[in-house]
Amino acid sequence: MTQRDHRHNRETTASPQALVRDLRIQGGALPEALRQQGLAAGVPALTARLEAGLANEQADPEGALFHAVDRLGALGEARAAPILLRCLEHDDLFEGLALQAAAALRTLDPAALEGCLAAYATTPTETFRDRLAGVMSRCGVHDERIYALLVETLPRTPKLGANYLA
């Protein structure tokens, strides 16, 4: 198969398994055809990609994880919230993944709120709590529970807490 044929094959791939394979080999910008396939494949294929990457950070180039998180945010489906929360929690595996996961979670607005609140209530990790507070402070939902946890953030991390409340 020539390089051109391989490129064409990637652009016309439709199966979730092939999409995951193509995401794994991508470096840099995601071609528009592959981006559209990611949107069409939906949450299950992208979630599988992220699960595999979080389980074995050595298996794939981290760019594929960033592309998958970006696509989940573009889909805007509530089903994506649990895996995006895991990405938000595990920024230590891939630097910057939490920022992208936070942005994707904010696109889910109310759909992600309950998951964020539950994760905040159950995690002992202050860094993860701060990230969750940041997501909820910008999710566009007015909820007294968010206000209470933002106030709780103030003594722990005054600069972040004040910024989130503003």
Q: What is the pLDDT of residue 66?
A: 85
Q: What is the pLDDT of residue 132?
A: 93
Q: What is the pLDDT of residue 62?
A: 55
Q: Tokens 């942005």, residue?
A: 103
Q: What is the pLDDT of residue 96?
A: 82
pTM greater than 0.75: no
Q: How does DSSP assign 42-109, residue by residue?
A: HHHHHHHHHHHHHH-TTSS-HHHHHHHHHHHHHHT-GGGHHHHHHHHHTTTTSTTHHHHHHHHHHHHT
- Ranges in the chain, pLDDT < 50: 1-14, 28
Single out the residue of 130, 151, 137 nearest to residue 109, CA to CA: 137
Q: Tokens 């910057």, residue?
A: 96
Q: What is the pLDDT of residue 83?
A: 92
